[in-house]
Structure 1
Amino acid sequence: MLNALQVFTTVVVGVMVGVEFSVAFVINRILDALPGDSGQLGRAHGGRMLGAVMPVWYISSLVLVAVWAIAGWGDQGAGLVVTAGALLIVSVLMSVLLLVPINNRSKTWTPENRPADWKQQGDRWDRYHYVRVAVIIGAFALLVAALV
């Protein structure tokens, strides 16, 4: 049963990492290259869509890692799992304190109501997101290492 939990948790976190990596290095670059206001409108839509899904995914990932850490306490690799959990806590805190406030504003923007500094706010969100992606990649790597 513990093996199934370990694999399931690693897959859930890995897919989350893939989505966030794709947002950072693929989707946002595509949106930024679109003409006119299309990119900003696409980011606003993405902020609404992913803003609804990602909190559940982050918290579920953290809960799964916590259950793995408790169920596998004393096993080889438990320290790696606990450290991965700590990194996921950092990612949740980063999200709540840094990224969500910007996302909550930007997901309502249209070309008619966006603030003058909308690009700077988007760039700030991107920089925070790059750091968050690095943090969750670290957590994922630790989970994979704990499996082997």
Structure 2
Amino acid sequence: MLNALEVVTTVVVGVMVGVEFGVAFVMTPILNALPEDSGQLGHAHGGRMLGAVMPFWYVGSLVLVGVWAVAGRHHDGTGLVVTSGALLILSVVMSLLLLVPINNRNKAWTPENRPADWKQQLNRWGRFHYVRVAVIIAAFTLLVAALA
């Protein structure tokens, strides 16, 4: 049973990392290359769509890691799992304090109501997102190492 939990947790966190990596290094550059209105509308739509899903994915990943840490507390690699959980907590805190406030503004913007500094706000979100991606990649790496 623990083996199944380890695999499911690693896959769930790994897919989340893949999505966030894709947002940072594929979707954002594509949207930024579109003409102003199209790019900004794409960012807003992405903010609404992923903003609705990612909270459950982050919290669900954290819960799975927590269950793994408790269920496997007497096994090798538990320290790696606990550290991974701490990094996922950091990613949630970063999200709530740094990324969500910008995303909540962005998802309501249209070409008619966006603020003059909308590009700067999206760039700030992008910089925070790069850091968050690095944090969740580290968390995922620790989970993979714990399996070995």
Structure 2 matches for 1:1-148, cutoff 5 A? 1-148=1-148
Partner Cα distance (2:45, 2:106) in 1: 9
Letter in 1 for 2:20: E
Partner Cα distance (1:34, 1:6) in 2: 41
Tell me the percent identity.
78
The RMSD of aligned alpha carbons is 0.5
Partner Cα distance (1:89, 1:81) in 2: 12
Secondary structure at the counterpart of residue 36 of structure 2: coil
> When the two structures are superposed, what TM-score results if normalisation uses the length of structure 2?
0.99
Q: How far 1:31 sits from its partner (Å)? A: 0.6
Q: How far 1:35 sits from its partner (Å)? A: 1.9
> When the two structures are superposed, what TM-score results if normalisation uses the length of structure 1?
0.99
Query: Structure 2: any 5+ residue segments left out of the alignment?
Result: none
Partner Cα distance (1:138, 1:34) in 2: 32
Partner Cα distance (2:8, 2:96) in 1: 25
